[in-house]
Homo-oligomer: A and B are copies of this chain.
Amino acid sequence: MSGRRVADLGEFELIDLITAGLGRGEQVVLGAGDDAAVLRLRGDLAVSTDTMVENVHFRRDWSSAHDVGRKSVAACVADAEAMGATGVGVVVSLSVPGELEVEWFSDFAAGVRAECDNAGVSLVGGDLTRAEQIVITVTVLADLAGREPLRRAGAQPGDDVAFCGRLGWAAAGLAVLSRGFRSPRAVVVAQRVPEPPYGQGVVAAQAGAHCLIDVSDGLLADLGHIAAASQVQIDLDSSRFEIAEPQQAVAAALGGGNPLIYQLTGGEDHALVGSFPPGRVPSGWTVIGRVNDGPAQVLVDGAVPDVEAAGWQHFGPAR
């Protein structure tokens, strides 16, 4: 199909490129193709939506269509994980220019399907429209299966703060891509496709977590949301963070700053972070700090960290 443009195909041909051979999870009563999809949940519904815009959240010269498809699903399903819910289905809205290559379109669709498989969710519907710029909105439908949602509020003094997943990899990747480099490969790959710790939201809930959030804006910013919602102070222990070799290499190559900055302020890896009663942190999670009584703020080693306003403004794309 080389050379063909989206405008050359009819709407239904394009939809077939997305839905052909779609699997269907056992909780999907009715998949794509009618006015709405129908899902059967075991408990309350958790729902979240996430939009990615070309040249704002991704660049076609940095990421393949497959990467963009995977990332759009991963970023959204991570929000369901952060409630302690299990993703069941996603609906995907895709707006594209008519001159877009059909190959980009079908690679994107393959990426969406691949990440749905990784996350254990079914693609159950969507919408397809023309626009001047690629805009992708994914909405996740997730099942709390009888459990209470894990909110941002709920952290209690004495709790251990722990995370699961990766911190600072995507930010280090963005730092090198922004300067025109393509290595170290591990961080560049991480920027293109996050690896949320699927299933660990439920693990946290079952372990008795008091609160949970996914790291999308940056660890300090997202823990700041927990501190504000829970009205607690969070104190991180910098000695608990392991700086991976590629992050050290990036920091050294780009000016010798402290590579911890990527882990503290970089988003887009979609790690899960929350607080647990002492002794209840599940295996596979890393304790990085404590919840204290005190003003709602996030400290590092007992002091206000010396970074500018934390979060994606540093290392994430503008939006």
Contact = CB atoms under 8 A, between A and B. Distances in A.
B35 A44 contact: no
B89 A47 contact: yes
Contacts of A318: 130
A53 B149 contact: no
A131 B49 contact: no
A227 interface: no
The 5 A-B pairs of least Cβ separation, nearest first, read A36-B48, A35-B82, A137-B137, A36-B46, A139-B139
Interface string A188-232: 000000000000000000000000111000000000000000000
Contacts of A139: 47, 49, 91, 137, 139
Contacts of A11: 319
A248 interface: no
A56 B132 CA distance: 10
Instruction: Output the residue of A30, A35, A44, A80 with the most chain B CB within 10 A.
Output: A35
Given A131-B56, A137-B137, A36 B47 contact: yes
Given A35-B83, A37-B48, A45-B45, 17 more contacts: A29-B149, A35-B212, A36-B46, A36-B82, A36-B83, A36-B142, A36-B149, A38-B46, A39-B47, A40-B44, A41-B41, A41-B45, A45-B141, A49-B92, A131-B135, A139-B139, A141-B141
